[in-house]
Amino acid sequence: MIGDQTAELQAPDLIVPIIGYRVWRIDRGTLRSRHSGMAWHGGRAEAACVPRRGHFGRRGRGTQHLESAPWAACSCGIYAFSEPFPRWSFWWPTVPGVAVFWGRVEVHNSGIRGQYAQTVALGLPPRPMLAERRQVLKIGRRIGVQAVPVEDLEAEAMLHGAPVPRSLVPG
């Protein structure tokens, strides 16, 4: 209380970036979202609601709204899984990796969708895939992120943020 006025403060649930695990597709040397096609060039990505286009590119599911993405009544936001895949596999031309999320973040049973995200690591394909490894290394250098063996992605993620606490994951 300051003087005779009370100020309502809303403290965030978390004060560290949230780790999210994603799979991007590679299109002509550029990382793209597998579902929306959004290009990831490094640096901060900001979610935006795209009218008439929802998650997985379905027409008519997105809604136009003034609230920041993600908005609970819409499918907008940048998506990621909360935990690494049990077994990383490569379906070239896709590549797994880690992004950190902050700002407005909605937590769901198996993942998150957030307002801001930034790629922090990419997973290298297995050694027999030498041309693909070179391409992931080149993309990593261009966007300023580490490219690490897939078995090291979780350890690399922990250097950049924290997972969603289980207490915040809906039942």
7 versus 86: the higher-pLDDT residue is 86
Look at residue 7 and tell me if it is in a domain.
no
Q: How confident is the model at residue 59 (pLDDT cuts 50, 70, 90)?
A: very low
The answer on pLDDT for 165 being more than 80 is: yes
Look at residue 4 and tell me if it is in a domain.
no
CA–CA separation, 167 and 149 (whole Å): 30
The answer on pLDDT for 100 being more than 50 is: yes
In the chain, how many domains are there? Answer: 1
Look at residue 8 and tell me if it is in a domain.
no
Look at residue 153 and tell me if it is in a domain.
yes
This prediction's pTM: 0.80
CA–CA separation, 67 and 30 (whole Å): 30
Look at residue 91 and tell me if it is in a domain.
yes
pLDDT of residue 8: 61
Look at residue 86 and tell me if it is in a domain.
yes
Look at residue 6 and tell me if it is in a domain.
no
pLDDT of residue 98: 95
Mean pLDDT (whole number) for 145-161 = 93
pLDDT in tens, 109-141: 889 999 999 999 999 987 778 899 999 999 999
What range does the domain containing 102 cover? Answer: 18-161
Look at residue 64 and tell me if it is in a domain.
yes
Q: Which of 83-87, 150-154, 157-161 has the lowest mean pLDDT?
A: 83-87
CA–CA separation, 38 and 30 (whole Å): 10
Half-sphere exposure in the Cβ direction for 33 (13 Å, CA): 17
The phi and psi torsions of 97 (rounded to 5 degrees) equal -175, -170
